[in-house]
Amino acid sequence: MNLSDALRQLEEKYSFALLEKKEFRGETTLLLKKEYLYEVAQFCRDLLGFNMLLDISSVDQWGQDPRFEMVYELYSLEEKSHLRLKTLLSEEDPVIPTVSTLWATANWHEREVYDMMGIRFEGHPNLRRILMWDGYPYHPLRKDFPLEGKPSEMPEVAFSQEAPLQGGPFVSSPSSGNTQVREPRYRSAENLPPQETFIAEP
């Protein structure tokens, strides 16, 4: 089933769940009511042939309500067609059903979204942090989380002080030095390598 036919069926069956449809540079995005996301995703997999989940991501629209946006990238291996599903979650109740029962690859994607953004997935078989350590109290990809980080009360586990914001915590400086020298936390007045001067040949 090609993408046009799949979209026609989807719009006919779930017109009540569809909030918005966007076409941009050959890609189709459907914005759905949160309570129908799982049902529509299952319909896309079972009846429309979107048998691959490429990715799950989230967007923090800090200052807006609803605050969070969930994004699901679906793909049909047979038709080589792509479909994007989106839904919105409020800051007060950032919870949505897991789709790991539909696509196994959602397991780690949802754990990352939970870890970094604090969105919870009902029915997930093992919803725990995947990047930060257990017990870490923050969600670092939220827009109200400062770039320099926050203090931690677990010094045995990781850094307990805020990282210096010298060019940003993840920005290294051009240098002839090794990776350790280029790492932002290393840079200070006494550790900075001498400036190199480059003269362009005529």
Ordered per-residue pLDDT tens for the chain, 202 residues? 899 999 999 999 999 999 999 999 989 999 999 999 999 999 999 999 999 999 999 999 999 999 999 999 999 999 999 999 999 999 999 999 999 999 999 999 999 999 999 999 999 999 999 998 888 889 999 998 887 777 766 655 555 555 555 445 455 556 666 656 665 555 554 555 555 444 555 5
C-alpha of 141 from chain center:
8
pTM: 0.76
The confidence score (pLDDT) of residue 198 equals: 44
- Does 182 map to a domain? no
The CATH number given to whatever domain includes residue 118 is 3.30.460.80
Q: Tell me how many domains the chain contains.
A: 1
- Does 178 map to a domain? no
Range of the domain at 86: 3-145
- Does 169 map to a domain? no
- Does 74 map to a domain? yes
